[in-house]
Amino acid sequence: MGLDFSIIPKYMDIILLGVAWTIGITVSAALLSFIGGIIFAVIALYAHWIIRQPFRLIEWVFMGTPLLLQLFLIYFGLVQIGIDLPAFIAGIIGLGLHFAVYNSELIQTAILAVDKGQMEAARTLGLSRGQALRKVVIPQAVRDVIPPIGNNMIALLKDSALVSVIGVSELTLSAQRVIGKTYRPFEFYILAAGFYYVINLCMEWVQHKIERRISISR
Partner 1 sequence: MDLELMLKVYPFFLEAAWVTVLLSVLTAILGLTCGTLGAAARLSRFAYLRFLGAAYVSVFRGTPALIQLFILYFGGPQIGIQLDAFEAGVIGLGINAGAYMTETIRGAIIAVDRGQREAARTLGLSSWQATYKVILPQAARLMVRPLGVNLNMLIKATALVAAIAVVELTYTAQRYIGSTYKPFEMFLLAGILYMIIIYVTGRGVAWLDRKVQIT
Interface with partner 1 (CB under 8 A): 1-3, 60-61, 64-70, 72-73, 76-77, 79-80, 158-162, 164-165, 172, 175, 179, 184-187, 189-190, 192-193, 196-197, 200-201
For residue 57, give every residue at least 6 positions away whose Cβ sits within 8 Å of its Cβ, in sequence order, or none: none
- The distance of closest approach from Cβ of residue 106 to partner 1 in the complex, given in angstroms and rounded to an integer, is 14
Please report how close the Cβ of residue 179 comes to partner 1 at its closest, in angstroms: 7
**What minimum distance in Å lies between the beta carbon of 126 and partner 1?**
44
User: What is the DSSP secondary-structure string of 126-174?
Assistant: T--HHHHIIIIIHHHHHHHHHHHHHHHHHHHHHHGGGGGGGT--SHHHH
* Euclidean distance between CA atoms 109 and 149, whole angstroms: 12
Of 108 and 174, which has the nearer Cβ to partner 1?
174
User: How buried is 157 (Cβ within 10 angstroms: 0-12 exposed, 13-18 middle, 19+ buried)?
Assistant: buried
Q: How far is the CB of 196 from partner 1 (least distance, A)?
A: 5
Nearer to partner 1, 39 or 201 (CB): 201
At 196 the three-state DSSP class reads helix
Cβ nearer to partner 1, comparing 46 with 76: 76
Beta carbon nearer to partner 1, 144 or 187: 187
Nearer to partner 1, 27 or 127 (CB): 27
User: Shortest approach of partner 1 to residue 35 CB, angstroms?
Assistant: 24
Smallest separation (angstroms) from partner 1 to the CB of 5 = 12
Alpha-carbon distance of 51 to 72, in angstroms, equals 26
Burial class of 29 by CB neighbour count within 10 A (0 to 12, 13 to 18, 19+): buried
Q: Residue 90 or 138: which CB sits closer to partner 1? A: 90
Of residues 155, 162, 142, 134, the one with CA closest to residue 199: 155
